[in-house]
């Protein structure tokens, strides 16, 4: 697989990474651990070198899965994890608030190092901006961990431009991770231009619209208990029916060149900027193979223009998150 550099940081990774959250959390029952570990190793064998996890995924168990699966490949992969949530001390798969206090950041880093079985965290994201803690303090705390050799690179997830600039002035930001796809294009207006100016890489999560852009989800699809798409406004049956035109567009472009809607969606992202590295997730080997093959799909200028023109006429129906979760983004 081709490789890309995340901005001007020098951090080089595969053109497509692997989002590991859904293997343990968020999309219904967790996958069987041995099967998921095998899937992660299969991704590495296909050239994937960027693997994304977080302490809150599970919580904890996804980091443990990724750490165990990739232990033999240490030094040849980049593992990204995250801090910033306050987890329920009583246990269970839920968070009870934000916490990016410097002391908590250090506690999370120490625990993540153990679960990931590494000596340094390759890329350490603030999972969501904490309005109670100045971003300068957050950047300073991660900077201390970098100087101590416990973290290599600093990242931010779902920040606004002001936060990015303030953090970057204290500790250079290597990558920003936010949702971005053909049906979630918020970062284009302000975030992407700022990242290009500052030399920061961009890592789109949910690049396949949480599965919708694959064309495998219809208005009749039922999601398992525990699948968080059950609470997302964009995944009501009505919204799914209304948004079908976007999938039809991807299918039409793909049909002409023997590619699937998912592959076209990923190829479109890769074509936006050379420092963009999407991290699609899956629990199935066939889907992994399909996604990674998208790295070889190069859309022509004519195809990109056709997608852009057609997509501009397709309004996306439904908010991406419920209001209480949407408030945590773009700060």
Where are the chain's structural domains? 3-326
d(CA 63, CA 5): 24
Return the H-helix or E-strand segment holding 197: helix 191-198
> Is the pLDDT score of 198 beyond 90?
yes
> Is the pLDDT score of 92 beyond 70?
no
Percent of the chain clearing pLDDT 90 (strictly above)? 94
In 46-99, which residue ranges form alpha helices assigned H by DSSP? 61-70
Q: What does the block give as tokens for 25?
A: 């959390």
Interior angle at CA 107, CA 149 and CA 153, nearest 5: 35
- Contacts for 49 with CB less than 8 Å, ≥ 6 apart: 3, 13, 14, 17, 76, 77, 78
What's the confidence (pLDDT) of residue 91?
66
What's the confidence (pLDDT) of residue 184?
97
> What is the distance, to the nearest Å, from the Cα of residue 285 to the centroid of all Cα atoms in its chain?
19
| Cβ proximity of 66 and 79 under 8 Å | yes
Q: What is the pLDDT of residues 132-143, one digit of tens each?
A: 999 999 999 999
What's the confidence (pLDDT) of residue 93?
56
Kindly indicate the confidence band of residue 325, based on its pLDDT and cuts at 50, 70 and 90. Answer: confident
Please identify every residue annotated as catalytic.
57
| Cβ proximity of 173 and 200 under 8 Å | yes
Q: What does the block give as tokens for 305?
A: 């223009």
Strands 85-87 and 95-98: antiparallel
Kindly indicate the confidence band of residue 89, based on its pLDDT and cuts at 50, 70 and 90. Answer: confident
Mean pLDDT of the chain: 96
Kindly indicate the confidence band of residue 326, based on its pLDDT and cuts at 50, 70 and 90. Answer: confident
What is the arithmetic mean of pLDDT over 198-213?
Answer: 98
> Is the pLDDT score of 190 beyond 60?
yes
What is the arithmetic mean of pLDDT over 275-292?
Answer: 98
Q: What does the block give as tokens for 95?
A: 């968070």
CATH class of 3-326: alpha beta
What is the arithmetic mean of pLDDT over 175-182?
Answer: 98
What is the arithmetic mean of pLDDT over 77-99?
Answer: 87
d(CA 151, CA 14): 20
Torsion of CA 85, 91, 93, 98, to 10 degrees: -10
What is the arithmetic mean of pLDDT over 96-117?
Answer: 97
Kindly indicate the confidence band of residue 327, based on its pLDDT and cuts at 50, 70 and 90. Answer: confident
Q: Quick one: which of 23, 30, 89, 33 has its CA closest to 53? A: 23
The answer, as to whether pTM is greater than 0.95, is yes
Neighbours of 253 (CB within 10 A): 23
List own/partner pairs for 60-64 with CB under 8 A and 24 or more apart.
60/115, 61/24, 61/25, 61/30, 62/20, 62/21, 62/23, 62/24, 62/25, 63/112, 63/115, 63/116, 64/115
What is the arithmetic mean of pLDDT over 78-107?
Answer: 89
């Amino acid at each position: 697989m081709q490789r890309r550099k995340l901005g001007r940081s020098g951090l080089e990774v595969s053109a497509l990474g692997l989002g590991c959250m859904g293997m343990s959390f968020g999309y219904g029952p967790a996958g069987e651990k041995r099967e998921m570990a095998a899937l992660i190793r299969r991704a590495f064998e296909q050239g994937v070198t960027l693997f994304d996890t977080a302490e809150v995924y599970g919580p904890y168990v996804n980091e443990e899965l990724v750490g165990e699966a990739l232990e033999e490949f240490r030094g040849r992969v980049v593992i990204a994890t995250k801090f910033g949530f306050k987890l329920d001390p009583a246990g269970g798969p839920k968070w009870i608030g934000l916490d990016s206090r410097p002391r908590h950041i250090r506690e999370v880093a120490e625990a993540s190092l153990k679960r990931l079985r590494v000596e340094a965290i390759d890329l350490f994201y603030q999972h969501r901006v904490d309005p109670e803690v100045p971003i300068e303090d957050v950047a300073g705390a991660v900077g201390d961990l970098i100087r101590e050799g416990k973290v290599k690179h600093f990242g931010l997830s779902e920040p606004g431009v002001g936060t990015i600039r303030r953090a970057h002035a204290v500790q250079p930001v290597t990558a920003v991770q936010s949702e971005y796809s053909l049906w979630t294009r918020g970062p284009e207006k302000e975030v992407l231009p700022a990242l290009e100016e500052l030399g920061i890489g961009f890592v789109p999560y949910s690049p396949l619209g949480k599965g919708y852009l694959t064309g495998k989800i219809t208005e009749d699809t039922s999601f398992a208990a525990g699948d968080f798409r059950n609470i997302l406004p964009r995944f009501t049956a009505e919204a799914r029916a209304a948004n079908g035109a976007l999938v039809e567009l991807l299918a039409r472009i793909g049909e002409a060149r023997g590619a699937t809607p998912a592959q076209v969606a990923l190829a479109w992202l890769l074509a936006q900027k050379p420092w963009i590295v999407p991290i699609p997730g899956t629990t199935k080997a066939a889907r992994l193979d399909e996604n990674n093959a998208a790295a070889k799909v190069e859309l022509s200028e004519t195809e990109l223009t056709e997608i852009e023109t057609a997509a501009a006429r397709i309004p996306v129906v439904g908010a991406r998150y419920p209001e209480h979760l949407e408030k945590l983004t773009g700060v």
